[in-house]
Each structure stands twice: as structure tokens, then as C-alpha cells.
Amino acid sequence: MDTNTIDYAKERSGYYKILVGLLLLTAVTFIQPHMFMTESTFMAQMLIAVVKGWLILMFYMHLKGETLIIWMTGFSLFIVFTFFAIVIGVDVQKFQFQDESHITSSATPIAEVGKESAPSAHSAQ
Amino acid sequence: MSGPYVPEIATDRDGNQHEVQGWQDDFYGGKLGFWLFMFTEVLMFGAMFMALAYYNTLHPQDFLDASASLNRLLGGVNTVVLLISALTMGLGLLNMRVGKVKEAKLMIWATIILAAAFLVIKGFEWRAEYNHGIFLMHDQMLPGSSLPFGQKLFFGLYFTMTGLHGFHIIIGIGLMIWLLKRINAEKVRPDHHILHWNIALYWDIVHLIWVFVFPYYYMIGAGGVTGGH
């Protein structure tokens, strides 16, 4: 069983404070594309999401003070993002199957695929 | 499976009897095991986000245009609904931990209602997209249509990921109903609430996934020239 001493009023108040924080961050999510970092909306949105995720993990999922689980979660995320970096960073930058792959084709009907080379939108990144 | 727990007794070479450690009340072990399960969820959705980012790098403008065409109002309402449901779930668990079982059950019911509301709103959103010809293997999504290929990839992943997320919501509703039955049967009690704790964790991971799904699909194109609905 959960052996921690429970301070009901304090924990309840904590839940509401985090709710307010998450609602504020959700509001920031909506105003960001028109207010700040407008040239890097994707980056700004992901940063806000990471802050929201951290609040949920630490307080709603009770990770605060759970050293073992924090390390396990951190290691798991590290594994995921390592493969993420390998695939995105290496494979996309050195994409070798531009002419054969369907994922780079444009709106060209299937019958015409192969008659022309695929667009190189990815190389613009 | 149920019934009173009967401890196993072991006798050492000197004839002394010892109770063998049972793991039925291993709260930390139960919690750690559930975190391992949630790791598999992170892997599954992580792979999908990887595919999304991969295609995004190939078709950046199509992704922005497709994102701008999604209904941000309904997506935002669903974000708030899920956020409040995470609060009710957390308060339900807190009530259970301090012995307020009736209040805990009320909070679980509130979470179920909010989860159902999320699905209804998502249903309206999908219906509107279907009416615009955008749905898996339908009209604009077919190979010969005029919709740019990058947008087909975007919407294909959008329906797959929000569909899988919606499936998790349905599973969550089922788990909460099961939890209510277990509470009514007094199998889940203030002094034995690991099931409640883990279902609350499940609901939080469902919320956490949406925290990343929402901005990636609905917001990256919000500053674009095409605008939303």
C-alpha cells in the first residue's frame, strides 16, 4: 500500500495549482503563433508541450521524489530519442531512394509515377 | 483468484517457522510494473511521432497547410476536457487514499463523463473531415486525387494517431468502469488501492500523449496564411 503520510488539503491544493498552470500553458499554445517566436512555431509549440508534460509527469503522475522511476523513464526517453535522432538526422539527410520511394512523390497520379523524378522537398531542410 | 490470503509457512533446519513473503501488497512493485507497461506505450507512440517528423521533413509546406485546415477550436476544447479529466482522476485517487470512497467514486464518474465528451467531440471533428472528403481510403485521400501527397501523409497519420489515442480513451473508460466495480466489491480500498493508482497513471499517460499530439497536428500551421476553419 501507499505508505506515505497524506496531507489531503495540501495535495488537493497542489492538483488545482497544476491545473491552473496547465490551463495557462494551453492558452499560451493558442496565442503563441500570433505573439512570439512566430518564425519557429513548431519549436515553440514543442517547448510548451515539454513543459506541460513535465508538470504532468512530476505532479499528476507523482514522479517527484521517485528516483528509480525517474531514471527508468529518462532512460526510456533517451532510447526513443536516440533512434529518433538516428532516423531523422542521418537517414533523411542522406536519403538514397528519392527516385524509388513513394513517400517523396507529389500529387502525380500513380500511372505517371516513374516518368518523372520525385520532388526534392526534403533537401530544403 | 479471490479469497482470503493464506500465508505460506517455511520451517528452517532448527524447526523455527517463518512466514514466506507474499507480494500481494507490494505497492511499489505494482507501480514499477505499470511504469514498464507505460514505457511500451511511449515506444509505440514514439515510433508514430518519428514517422510524423520524418514525413514532415520531406513535405514541410504540405504539413503546414494540412495543419492549418484542422479545426483548432474543437481540438482546443478537447485539450481542456482531457486536462480537467486528469484533475478529476487525480482527485479521485487522492480521495481514495484518505478514505473518502464515495467522493472517489464520484470523481471517477466525472472522469468517465469527460472521457465520453472527448470522444463525442472527436466524432464531430472526424465527421466534418469526412464530409470534406478527407478520411482514410476515402475521396481526397485516394491516390489519384488532387490533394498534395504530403497532406495525404499528414492526414493519414492524423487519423491513425488520433484514432489510436481515441482507442486508448475507450479502453480507459472500460478500466474506470471495472475500477468502480472493484471498489463496490471492496477489492479496492483505501488500504489497498494499487489498481486505482495504476488506472490513474494510465489516464495520465493518455493525457500526456495528447499534450504532444495536439500541438503537432493542430498548431504547427496556426501561423500560416491559410488559417483554420
pLDDT tens digits for range B200-227: 999 999 999 999 999 999 999 997 644 3
What is residue A98's predicted lDDT score, i.e. its pLDDT?
67
For residue B68, the model assigns a pLDDT of 94
Q: How far apart are CA B228 and CA A13, in angstroms?
A: 37
Of A96-105, B93-102, B170-179, B195-204, give the lowest mean pLDDT range: A96-105
Residue B26 — pLDDT band, cuts 50, 70, 90? confident
Reported confidence tier of residue B20, pLDDT bands at 50, 70, 90: confident
Q: How far is CA A98 from CA A94, A123, B53, B125, in A?
A: 10, 10, 17, 35
Quote the pLDDT of residue A111: 45
CATH of the domain at B162: 1.20.120.80
Range of the domain at B157: 27-219
| Residue B11 domain flag | no
In terms of Cα–Cα distance, which of B165, B155, B57, B51 is closest to A80?
B51
Identity (one letter) of the amino acid at B6? V
The answer to whether residue B12 sits within a structural domain is no
Q: How many domains does chain B have?
A: 1
Residue A19 near chain B (CB below 8 Å)? yes
A125 inside 8 A of chain B by CB: yes
Write down the ipTM of this complex.
0.88
Nearest Cα residue in chain B from A40 = B220
Contact (Cβ atoms closer than 8 angstroms) between residue A45 and residue A25: no
Structure confidence by residue, pLDDT tens digits, B37-68:
998 898 899 889 988 988 898 899 999 999 99
Per-residue pLDDT tens digits for A82-91: 887 887 777 7
**Closest chain B C-alpha to A97 CA, distance in angstroms:** 13
Residue B16 lies in a domain: no
Higher pLDDT, A20 or B144: A20
Inform me whether the C-beta atom of residue B15 falls under 8 Å from chain A C-beta atoms.
no
